Structure formats: C-alpha cells, structure tokens
Amino acid sequence: MKTSKDLAHRLAAVADDKKAHNIVILNMHGISTMADYFIICHGTSEKQVQAIAREIKDTAEIEQIDVKRMEGFDNARWVLVDLGDVIVHVFHKDDREYYQLEKLWGDAPLEHFESIVKNE
C-alpha cells in the first residue's frame, strides 16, 4: 500500500496531466486532524475543474483507493475530493483567489512537486 505522501504526489501528477495550474501539496501532519496532505490546484473553466476532479476520482478508484466523498462537482467552482489521508481541492481560478487556502493553512510546510507542464 502506498503511503499518504506517495498518494499525494501521485494525485498531484494526475492533476498536472490534466493541466491543473499552480499545484501545491501541503503537509498537514501535526496541523490538522482532517488529513495528512492537502493538494490545492485550479482550472480556468468549469469543464477543466470537472475534468481534473473526475480524473483524480477515477485514478483513485482504479488504484483501489477509497473515495470517501466528492463535493462541489456540479457547480465546478470548488471541488473537494476526500480520500481520507489526502484531500484534493480543485478550484476554479477566481474561487481559489477568493478563498486562499494556502494562506489559511500558511503554517503547513509545502511538499516539493515539480510540474511537468509549466502552466503557471
């Protein structure tokens, strides 16, 4: 079984494959009891947000990782995919700027993730 860190990096790569922008992995150990890692990224349209979230969910299911819940998919402004130890937040660009989760969890260390596609 993969560690939660391995899973976070794998799912960040999945988001990257779908051309998600500004992918951030926050190490939540000792900061939150909700999850070990948060992945935060965004798309520039509702369709892209849905495509990123759907690919993350499908990949998890293929790899036999339990998807506890997925919320916000229909509106595609902020989709949350809860995989237990890893929670993925896929935002629409405007909503990401509004909610600023990275600042809210500013004390969480960033995990290094090298995007294959440079699309900042």
Read off the pLDDT of residues 68-98 as tens digits, 9 standing for 90 and up. Answer: 999 999 999 999 999 999 999 999 999 999 9
What CATH number does the domain containing 98 carry? 3.30.460.10
In a domain, 53, yes or no: yes
Strands of 44-97 (E only): list them: 69-71, 78-82, 86-92
Structure confidence by residue, pLDDT tens digits, 32-55? 888 999 999 999 999 999 999 999
Number of domains in the chain: 1
Whole-model pTM? 0.91
Provide the token pair at 110.
């960033």
In a domain, 115, yes or no: no
In a domain, 117, yes or no: no
In a domain, 120, yes or no: no
Q: What is the mean pLDDT of the chain?
A: 91
In a domain, 23, yes or no: yes
Distance of alpha carbon 57 from alpha carbon 106, whole angstroms: 26
Q: Band of the pLDDT at 106, cuts 50, 70, 90?
A: confident
Q: Band of the pLDDT at 115, cuts 50, 70, 90?
A: low
Fill in the DSSP letter of residue 112.
P
In a domain, 116, yes or no: no
Please give the pLDDT value at position 33: 85
Task: For residue 79, give its domain range.
Answer: 4-110
